[in-house]
């Protein structure tokens, strides 16, 4: 009897007893840096190409090194420019035949974290000996360091294949292979009467100012009927590449494909 009285008193004093539920461990987090291939462009007529190296980082970095491996292997690195590395004054060099890209700051300036993929640097390469079209690219042996020269682990994105830039005729807005007044009418219909969308916007951008507008129609009509300046390269006679980097595309290059 005394035993039951003692247990009752203990429950009153301590309150309701609760079972302890074990707390599951937190899932392991991955490396704080992701390096991956971004936009890759390739000119099959010259073998020249560029690849944007994209970095996502939870921590600041003070230096980086990685290798670009190509298939076929007959690729030479030309330069590495632009991106965050250039913005923060980094010296970036490439090993022409080794495929190594190395970036650092003599003054130990840090590149701050970036929560979304941003261009670390843009690597130019040449594959004039590539016999079967655009090469495949892979990233290997990436090393990042902090200001204390300590290594920072990184994940690497998948391999990717370069995309050959389209050939087109400047002024061939309707992509029928014959730049003429019909192209000016086609462009004006797009701009002012809801005409069919252009499959090769670069071809409609006759003055190569990076936009498709009324100035392109005026420029092209002046060329056709008033002795005006011809459309910008590659011109109206021979298929070629757009020499100017812009946001326009050429999804349907017509007879140049």
Residue 134 reports pLDDT greater than 90:
no
Kindly list the domain boundaries of the chain, sorted by start residue: 33-164, 181-256
Convert the pLDDT of each residue in 135-159 to its tens digit: 999 999 999 999 999 999 999 999 9
Strands (E), the chain: 33-43, 48-57, 63-71, 76-81, 91-94, 100-104, 114-126, 136-145, 151-152, 154-156, 160-161, 163-164
Query: Is residue 131 over pLDDT 90?
Result: no
Q: Which structure tokens are listed for 245? A: 């980097």
- CATH value of 33-164 in 3.30.1490.20, 1.10.10.410, 3.90.1200.10, 2.60.40.680: 2.60.40.680
Q: Is the pLDDT of residue 11 over 90?
A: no
Residue 115's pLDDT band, with cuts at 50, 70 and 90, is very high
Model pTM score: 0.66
């Amino acid at each position: 009897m005394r035993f039951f009285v003692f247990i009752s008193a203990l429950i009153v004093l301590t309150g309701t007893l609760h079972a302890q539920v074990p707390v599951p461990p937190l899932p392991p987090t991955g490396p704080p840096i992701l390096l991956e291939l971004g936009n890759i462009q390739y000119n099959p007529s010259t073998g020249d190409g560029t690849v944007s190296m994209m970095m996502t980082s939870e921590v600041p970095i003070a230096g980086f090194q990685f290798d670009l491996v190509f298939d076929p292997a007959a690729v030479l690195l030309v330069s590495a420019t632009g991106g965050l590395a250039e913005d923060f004054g980094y010296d970036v060099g490439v090993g022409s035949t080794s495929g190594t890209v190395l970036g650092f700051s003599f003054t130990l300036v840090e590149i701050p974290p970036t929560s979304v993929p941003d261009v670390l640097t843009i690597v130019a390469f040449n594959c004039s000996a590539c016999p079967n079209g655009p090469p495949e690219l892979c990233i290997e042996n990436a090393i990042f360091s902090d200001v204390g020269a300590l290594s920072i682990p990184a994940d690497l994105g998948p391999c990717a294949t370069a995309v050959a830039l389209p050939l087109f005729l400047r002024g061939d807005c309707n992509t029928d292979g014959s730049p003429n007044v019909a192209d000016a009418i086609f462009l004006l219909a797009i701009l002012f009467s809801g005409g069919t969308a252009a499959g090769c916007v670069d071809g409609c951008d006759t003055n190569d100012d990076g936009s498709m507008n009324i100035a392109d129609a005026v420029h092209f009509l002046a060329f056709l009927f008033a002795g005006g300046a011809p459309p910008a390269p590659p011109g109206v006679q021979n298929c070629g590449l757009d020499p100017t980097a812009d946001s326009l595309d050429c999804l349907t290059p017509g007879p140049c494909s």
